[in-house]
Amino acid sequence: MTITEPLVMGILNVTPDSFYAGSRSNTTQAIEARVGQMLAEGVDIIDIGAYSTRPGAVVVTADEEKARLARATEVIHRFAPNVVTSVDTFRADVARYAVEQLGIGIVNDVSGGTLDPQMFATVADLQVPYILMHMRGTPATMQQLTDYDNVVDDVLRDLRGKLDTLRGMGVRDVVVDPGFGFAKTLQQNYELMARLEEFHSLRAPLLVGISRKSMIYKTLNCTPDEALNGTTVLNTVALLAGAHILRVHDVLAAVEARTLIKLMYNKY
């Protein structure tokens, strides 16, 4: 995956229970409106999630996850058949279905291969770009698994080991994601952000996904609906640290931040 300037990945949640209500698009009409808006705002990648990974989310069967993905991709193919899409899933069989049957081009795995032992072999077989995120446990248990010797060093070590495994299996295009909010305390999230440049030592494109998360709205004593300003601040910090992909709910704000950073610092 050659990335010459930061990309904006827009979140399309075809779920009824994602943590940010404004991102839920679980009807054909809502999907059409959401996709149309993101395209108009300059999105580079549309990331389709059909299974919420927030703590306490309802368990969804693989068949239901596939049906939701099929409904979303049918709409996207009508609107913009050439737009790059990714599938937000930790299930290997869902990833295979999304790539082979729906034409999705990237696999975005929040579990970094820990929740489905077949995931690495599957992406190696599919030969599509893979987003490797750091997480411990499951969405239900992850917030009890925040005991690190040093959160940045430990996350780097975990990602480096998995990168070596993937590369050894022939997976050529891997993007790394520190996993903000997943098995991290509030303070640990900010330690990761403050030392974000160290993740370039992994020699892989870096994705940052902090959009409207609790590290913002709990710190600012607001709600996810009110967390856009904080999101834009941290996305700007991430861009200055060399992030290659911003995963966001609000495409226009991220595109504008990228434009200004490029102009001011002649980055990328």
Domain membership of residue 1 (yes or no) is no
What would the pLDDT profile of 102-155 be if each residue is shown by its tens digit? 999 999 999 999 999 999 999 999 999 999 999 987 777 777 778 999 999 999
| pLDDT average, residue stretch 223-239 | 97
Number of H helices, E strands in the chain: 9, 8
What average pLDDT does the structure give for the chain?
91
**Coil, helix or strand for 138?**
coil
CATH number of the domain enclosing 160:
3.20.20.20
User: What are 58-90's pLDDT values in tens digits?
Assistant: 678 999 999 999 999 998 988 888 999 999 999
Handedness of CA 14, 128, 181, 207 (dihedral sign): negative
pTM higher than 0.75: yes
Distance CA 176, CA 248 (A): 16
- Does 204 map to a domain? yes
Residue 131: what pLDDT?
A: 98
Tell me the torsion sign for CA atoms 238, 240, 243, 245. Answer: positive
Residue with more model confidence, 267 or 237? 237
The answer to whether residue 199 sits within a structural domain is: yes
In a domain, 253, yes or no: yes
Total domains in the fold of the chain: 1
For position 11, what pLDDT does the model report? 96
pLDDT of residue 28: 83
Distance CA 112, CA 17 (A): 22
- The yes-or-no verdict on residue 55 having pLDDT over 90 is no
Does the residue 201 lie in any domain? yes
Task: Say if 60 falls within a structural domain.
Answer: yes
Q: What is the pLDDT of residues 243-252, one digit of tens each?
A: 999 999 999 9
Q: How much is the pLDDT for 25? A: 66
Half-sphere exposure of 160 (CA within 13 A, CB side): 12
Give residue 86's Cα distance to chain centre. Answer: 9
Lowest-pLDDT range, 3-12, 47-56, 242-251? 47-56
Q: What is the pLDDT of residue 2?
A: 73
Token look-up 């974000």 returns 196
Residues annotated as catalytic (active site), given as ranges: 213, 247
Q: Which residues contact 145 (CB under 8 A, 6 or more apart)?
A: 136, 137, 183
Structural domain includes residue 2: no
Spatial separation of the C-alpha atoms in residues 105 and 148, rounded to whole Å: 34
